[in-house]
Every structure is written in C-alpha cells, then in structure tokens.
C-alpha cells in the first residue's frame, strides 16, 4: 500500500478516535475505548472494501455492516460522519433524548439493519443476512464487527457452525481482540490463536493480524473477499483506548467517557475534517420481486380431527406456493412442527437450522433484513432458548413469524421439559408483538396467512394433538378479533378460552346447560392484541368471566383478559397450569391441571 494511502488511513482512524472521544465526552457516557480499538479496522473497511451507497440504503446491492459489539456505537456514528451521512452536530447529540445516535445502534438509522447491544447477536443475524444473499444470488458482502468478549456466547458458535458448514463465503467476521472485557481481561487475552483454533475447527478461514496496521488489515480484508466456499474471520490484536495515554490498554476504562477528553483529542492530533468516499456497489441488483399467485389455503371439513400444527404446515406450503418471498426455518423438528410440508415443496426456501434455536431466530431476523418473510418453528418450549433474540428482534422492529408447537400440558406423556407453558407470557411482553393461538385447523390456516402481512414479531401457538374442526373453511380471523361461540341473553358467565381449551370450554358449556346454567364461550384466538370490545361486552353483560388456558397462570391469556377489562371491575376467575406436570395422557394432563371440561364447569358453579 502506498505511503500516501497509509497516511490517509491513519488520519481517518485518528479522526474516528477523536470523534468517539468527543461524542462520549459530550454525552457524559458511552464506550469510547471500545471504539478506539477498532478504528483502524473500520477505517480500512470503509475506505477500501465496503460497497455501500449511503444515499440509497435500500439499494439491494449494498453490503451489510453489523456492529455485533453494539457498544462501539461512537465509532459507527463517527464513520457515518466521515462518510458524510450525518453532521458533526448530530454526532454530538449522542445519547440525548430524541437523537438517532442511541447508546446502542438501532434501525432508527437507515443504515442500521438490526439493533445490537446484547452481545453475541450480530454475528448470528449476519449469518441470516448472508443466507439471504445466497438465496438472492446478489454478491453483496456481510461484514460483522465483533468484540472478543462476546465470543464466550454460545450463540456465536451456533453462528460459526451454521456459516462454516454452509460455506457462507460472503460473510466476514472482524474480531476486535482488545483483550479487555467490561470488568477486566478476557479469558484468552491477546491469544488470537485460541480463537483461530476454534473458528478453524468450525470450518472458517482464519487470519490473525495486528489490528492497528493498515497494511495487514488491507491484506486480511482482501483475503476475505477472495476466499471461496468458507466464511472468514479476521482476528485482530488491538489495544483498547488506542491512542490516548489515559486509557490505552488499561483496565477500568470500559464504558465511560475519558476524564480528560481534550488532552486525548490533542494526543490524537486534534480535530480533522477527513472524509471517506465509500465505494458504491460495483454491481446493480434489482430488489427481488415475487410473483404472487392466488392463495389457496387448505380446507378442513367441520367435524374432522386435525392438529393445528398440521394445518400450519399445510397452510405454509400453500402460502409458499402463492408467494415467493415466504421462507421457512426449523430447529430440526420439522416432522413435529410440520414445517416439513413446506420443506418438501420448496427445499430452496427451507432452512434446516438444526437444534440451535438462537441461530434459528437470528437467521429469521437476518432474512427479513432483506425483505423475506420468514416463518421459524420449533417446540414452543424451546423458543425460550431464544428469548433474548426475540426481545432484540422487537427492538429491531424486525418482522419475523415464530411458530411454537407442542403447547401446554396437552402434549401428554413427554412431560414438562417438552411443554410450552411460558410462551404466551414470553411473547406477549415483546415490544410490538402479536400473539395468536388457534383452536382448529381452518383457523390455524387462516392465521398463518394473516401473519405474512404483520409487522414486528408475531407468534403462532400450535397444538400437538388432533382437535375437531369447528369453523368453516375460508372464514376470516382478523388479528385482534375473537369469536363468540356460545351466547344467550341468559348467560350468567362467559368462558374465555383459546386453542385446546376452546374445546373443553364448549363441552363445559354443554354440561352446564344440562344443569340449567347458561354460559357464553369466547374463542380468544388473538391473545395480543386482544379483542377488548368483545371482552368488555361479555364482562358487562354477565359480570363473570372464567378464563382457561393450557399455560402457566402468569402472563398468558387470563392476564390478557384481565388487562382488557380491569377498569370495568368484573369478577375474573383464571384457570391455568399451576403445578408441575409429570407424564400422563393428554386427557389426564388437562384434568390434573384443572383446565378440562369438568374443572371449567366446576369453576363456573363455584363462582355463581
């Protein structure tokens, strides 16, 4: 590399450090030292390798850059300034209320694909973005800046496994090995070989460099671009706080502004006005367009017994036929979740993620970055494995569709480890989420189709066992709606149920009618948003609500109902799973949990 270029890169990196120090100083908080260590790496990337049109962030040929170490946001924003995307004034609004310069990057900024800040997530999401590139046959590259501390996260190794085995050569991880975590030295310090052995074992091309040497960085990034059939990881030995004596390579300097920022700025050569001309994509790519054919959902005859998970699989296959943008992922249980119906029809749009639920959800998030409509399925219980990823998908405003099968004690003999009993609560708390829980196959199919148009995180809860079809094919079930299944003017209470308990509620209502007690039944298939109008109507007319759910007492359907009607003050009795189930048949489980027809009828009688 010519001396002039080296000089320029050094100036650019110095400015990035200066601006990181200034932004954090102005904010009074933030992570300047974690930014300073990676400044040279990013200077070379921006000046020489990144292909990105900052004026057109939606250009499908743009590379993708993900700061997996999201706390290095001052560096990212300083890069945006150097690229001319933001002003110095906006940079200095760092961490202020209303500013786009948030403490950790979020997609409020048009150049940010996903929110980061929970460590170990950027690389798995980057894997998903790289998977999309292969699907689209667009030669963009995915660059992920990782910290060394976050390599302790298991999710990093799920990503390493998937990318390595799939040979995602369009993915490059750049690890800023600055040796210091938040509270002290990392496990491996500057032993980049320790990381190289690990990534190498997972099938990656590994390069170990001095992360402050522009020539070595240039070589490594070029080598990554020229590597075929393997992802590349660049393990760059760096010094945290590089360039400022006060903090350089010192413990206790994480996540705080410098004490003497002016001195550091001076040490770093003062203010500059270096600009970086980021290359625009060398190729043109049209945004992918899919022909959309008329959707023909599967139809089930009323009275037939079909599991809602089966309807999910068949409806997804139908949706896949109608729309080319639908993709499906599964956690090595596609025969159980029934994603296999889609996988058989559209193998190129199906991704087997094996038993790695974090990567399963992260890949879905990555795919939706590129406009795909992912459905990701596993057992409802095992989605708990990916809760942090689901939470962060909410922060990212990512539109992903999750499907959890084998909900509740109704699975029967397999026992509590396999029972999704916390999933409604877990998904309801996620920002901007939608939670759906069908009770029959036609409803399940309709909701699968409904989900494709939803924004944010949406969730479909399915049941293992067969349940009778009670709705006609083709009926509509809008999100936020409910269905009144039993209602007479003489109703003395209303049972609110969803999924498997709808059938128990109907049976209980029949039993009660024979005892001369009229009760209404509502199918609350949309658990979030909830049909407040229908619940209000029921609460007002009968004054007594009994909620029944195959889920824990906390945070599920019963709480959703109470929340909707709390200001009216009806009496609400919640039936839910409170004990610890063992093995038993599905019918025994429902009885033992106190959520079967007999328990419901008993609860109504005690209430009245």
509 binds a copy of itself (CB under 8 A): no
Residue 201: CA count within 13 A, CB half-sphere: 7
Beta bridge partners of 65: 143
Q: How far apart are the first and last CA of the chain?
A: 85
SS3 519: strand
| Contacts to a copy of itself from residues 222-281, by CB under 8 A | none
425 binds a copy of itself (CB under 8 A): yes
The full DSSP string for 102-165 is -SS--TTSTT--S---STT-HHHHHHHHHHHHHHHT----EEEEEESGGGGSHHHHHHHHHHHH
Pick the closest to residue 54 from 241, 273, 275, 212 (CA basis): 275
Residue number with CB closer to a copy of itself (20 or 62): 20
Shortest Cβ distance from residue 562 to a copy of itself (Å)?
Answer: 5
358 binds a copy of itself (CB under 8 A): yes
Query: Could you give the CA distance from residue 232 to residue 209 in angstroms, rounded to a whole number?
Result: 13
SS3 505: helix
- Using a 10 angstrom Cβ sphere, with 0-12 exposed, 13-18 middle and 19 or more buried, the burial of residue 168 is buried
Binding mask 310-349 for a copy of itself (x = CB under 8 A): ----------------------xxxxx---x---------
SS3 522: strand
Peptide bond into 142 cis (omega under 30): no
Residue number with CB closer to a copy of itself (280 or 340): 340
Contact residue for a copy of itself among 284, 344, 582, 605 (CB under 8 A): 582
354 binds a copy of itself (CB under 8 A): yes
572 binds a copy of itself (CB under 8 A): yes
Shortest Cβ distance from residue 220 to a copy of itself (Å)?
Answer: 21
Query: Could you give the CA distance from residue 238 to residue 212 in angstroms, rounded to a whole number?
Result: 6
454 binds a copy of itself (CB under 8 A): no
Name the residues annotated as catalytic: 357
Contact residues for 98 (Cβ-Cβ < 8 A; gap 6+): none
Contact residue for a copy of itself among 584, 594, 598, 602 (CB under 8 A): 584
Residue number with CB closer to a copy of itself (97 or 289): 97
Q: Segment contacting a copy of itself (CB under 8 A): 36-44, 50-58, 128-136, 382-390?
A: 382-390
429 binds a copy of itself (CB under 8 A): yes
555 binds a copy of itself (CB under 8 A): yes
Q: Segment contacting a copy of itself (CB under 8 A): 51-59, 177-185, 298-306, 479-487?
A: 177-185
The full DSSP string for 347-414 is GGGEEE--S-HHHHHHHHHHHHHTT-EEEEEEEGGGGGGGHHHHHHHHHTT--EEEEEESBSGGG-TT
Contact residue for a copy of itself among 87, 182, 226, 472 (CB under 8 A): 182
SS3 245: coil
| Complete edge-to-edge strand list for the sheet that includes strand 457-461 | 350-352, 326-330, 373-379, 400-405, 457-461, 434-436, 526-528
Residue number with CB closer to a copy of itself (133 or 570): 570
Shortest Cβ distance from residue 344 to a copy of itself (Å)?
Answer: 12
Residue number with CB closer to a copy of itself (116 or 462): 116
154 binds a copy of itself (CB under 8 A): yes
522 binds a copy of itself (CB under 8 A): no
177 binds a copy of itself (CB under 8 A): no
Residue number with CB closer to a copy of itself (260 or 388): 388
- CA pseudo-torsion sign 532, 537, 543, 544: negative
95 binds a copy of itself (CB under 8 A): yes
Q: Segment contacting a copy of itself (CB under 8 A): 78-86, 462-470, 479-487, 551-559?
A: 551-559
Contact residue for a copy of itself among 392, 444, 447, 519 (CB under 8 A): 392
491 binds a copy of itself (CB under 8 A): no
Residue 371 has a CB neighbour count (10 Å cut-off) of: 15
| Contacts to a copy of itself from residues 277-306, by CB under 8 A | none
Shortest Cβ distance from residue 425 to a copy of itself (Å)?
Answer: 5
391 binds a copy of itself (CB under 8 A): yes
Shortest Cβ distance from residue 352 to a copy of itself (Å)?
Answer: 8
Phi first, then psi, for residue 521 (nearest 5°) are -135, 130
Binding mask 103-122 for a copy of itself (x = CB under 8 A): xx-x-x------xxxxxx--
| Contacts to a copy of itself from residues 526-545, by CB under 8 A | 528
Shortest Cβ distance from residue 354 to a copy of itself (Å)?
Answer: 4
Query: Could you give the CA distance from residue 195 to residue 514 in angstroms, rounded to a whole number?
Result: 70
Q: Segment contacting a copy of itself (CB under 8 A): 296-304, 411-419, 463-471, 482-490?
A: 411-419
158 binds a copy of itself (CB under 8 A): yes
Shortest Cβ distance from residue 392 to a copy of itself (Å)?
Answer: 6
96 binds a copy of itself (CB under 8 A): yes
Query: Could you give the CA distance from residue 263 to residue 257 in angstroms, rounded to a whole number?
Result: 13
Contact residue for a copy of itself among 69, 428, 483, 597 (CB under 8 A): 428
Count of chain residues binding a copy of itself (CB under 8 A): 108
Phi first, then psi, for residue 341 (nearest 5°) are -60, -40
Contact residue for a copy of itself among 262, 413, 455, 475 (CB under 8 A): 413
| Contacts to a copy of itself from residues 5-44, by CB under 8 A | 27, 29-30
Phi first, then psi, for residue 303 (nearest 5°) are 100, -25
Query: Could you give the CA distance from residue 115 to residue 394 in angstroms, rounded to a whole number?
Result: 9
Shortest Cβ distance from residue 336 to a copy of itself (Å)?
Answer: 7
Shortest Cβ distance from residue 291 to a copy of itself (Å)?
Answer: 30
70 binds a copy of itself (CB under 8 A): yes
Query: Could you give the CA distance from residue 293 to residue 33 in angstroms, rounded to a whole number?
Result: 53
Residue number with CB closer to a copy of itself (14 or 253): 253
Q: Where are the alpha helices (DSSP H) in 146-230?
A: 154-166, 192-201, 214-226
| Residues belonging to the chain | 608
């Amino acid at each position: 590399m010519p001396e002039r270029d080296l000089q320029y890169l050094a100036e650019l990196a110095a400015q990035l450090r200066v601006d990181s120090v200034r932004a954090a100083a102005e904010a009074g908080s933030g992570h300047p030292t974690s930014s300073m260590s990676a400044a040279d790496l990013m200077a070379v990337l921006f000046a020489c390798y990144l292909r990105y049109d900052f004026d057109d962030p939606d250009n499908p040929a743009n590379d993708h850059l993900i700061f997996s170490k999201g706390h290095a946001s001052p560096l990212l924003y300083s890069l945006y300034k150097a690229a001319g995307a933001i002003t110095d004034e906006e940079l200095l609004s760092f961490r202020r209320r209303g500013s786009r310069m948030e403490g950790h990057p979020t997609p409020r900024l048009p150049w940010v694909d996903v929110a980061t800040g929970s460590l170990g997530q950027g690389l798995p999401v980057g894997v998903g973005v790289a998977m999309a590139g292969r699907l689209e046959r667009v030669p963009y590259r995915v660059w992920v800046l990782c910290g060394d501390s976050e390599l302790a996260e298991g999710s990093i190794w799920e990503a390493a496994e998937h990318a390595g085995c799939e040979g995602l050569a369009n993915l490059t991880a750049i690890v800023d090995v600055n040796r210091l975590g938040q509270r002290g030295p990392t496990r491996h310090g500057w032993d980049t070989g320790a990381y190289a052995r690990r990534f190498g074992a997972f099938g990656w091309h590994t390069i170990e460099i001095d992360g402050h040497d522009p020539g070595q960085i240039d070589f490594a990034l070029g080598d990554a671009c020229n590597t075929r059939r393997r992802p590349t990881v660049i393990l760059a030995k760096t010094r945290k706080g590089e360039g400022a004596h006060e903090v350089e390579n010192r413990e206790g300097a994480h996540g705080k502004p410098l004490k003497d920022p002016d001195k550091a700025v001076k040490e770093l050569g003062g203010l500059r006005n270096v600009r970086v001309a980021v290359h625009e994509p060398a190729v043109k790519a049209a945004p992918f367009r899919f022909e959309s054919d008329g959707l023909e959902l599967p139809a089930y005859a009323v009275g037939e017994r079909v599991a809602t998970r089966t309807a999910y699989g068949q409806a997804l296959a139908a949706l896949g036929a109608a729309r080319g943008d639908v993709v499906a992922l599964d956690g090595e249980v596609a025969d159980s979740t029934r994603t296999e119906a889609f996988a058989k029809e559209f193998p190129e749009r199906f991704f087997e993620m094996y038993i790695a639920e974090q990567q399963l959800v992260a890949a879905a998030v990555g795919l939706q970055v590129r406009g795909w409509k992912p459905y990701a399925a596993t057992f409802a219980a095992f989605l708990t494995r990916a809760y942090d990823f689901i939470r962060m998908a909410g922060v990212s405003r990512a539109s992903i569709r999750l499907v959890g099968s084998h909900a509740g004690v109704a699975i029967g003999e397999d026992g509590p480890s396999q029972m999704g009993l916390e999933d409604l609560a877990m998904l309801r708390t996620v920002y901007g989420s939608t939670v759906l829980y069908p009770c029959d196959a036609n409803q399940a199919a309709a909701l699968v189709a409904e989900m494709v148009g939803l924004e944010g995180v949406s969730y479909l809860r399915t049941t293992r066992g067969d349940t009778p079809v009670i709705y006609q094919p083709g009926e509509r079930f809008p999100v936020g709606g409910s269905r009144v299944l039993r209602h007479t003017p003489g109703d003395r209470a209303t049972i609110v149920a969803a999924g498997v308990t709808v059938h128990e509620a109907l049976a209980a209502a029949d039993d009660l009618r024979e005892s001369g007690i009229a009760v209404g039944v509502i199918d609350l298939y949309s658990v979030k948003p909830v049909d407040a109008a229908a619940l209000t109507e029921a609460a007002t007319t009968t004054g007594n609500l009994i909620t029944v759910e195959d889920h824990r007492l906390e945070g599920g359907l019963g709480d959703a109902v109470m929340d909707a009607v709390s200001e009216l003050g009806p009496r609400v009795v919640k039936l839910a799973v409170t004990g610890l189930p063992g093995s038993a048949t599905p019918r025994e489980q429902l009885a033992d949990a106190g959520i079967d027809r007999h328990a419901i009828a008993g609860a109504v009688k005690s209430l009245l």
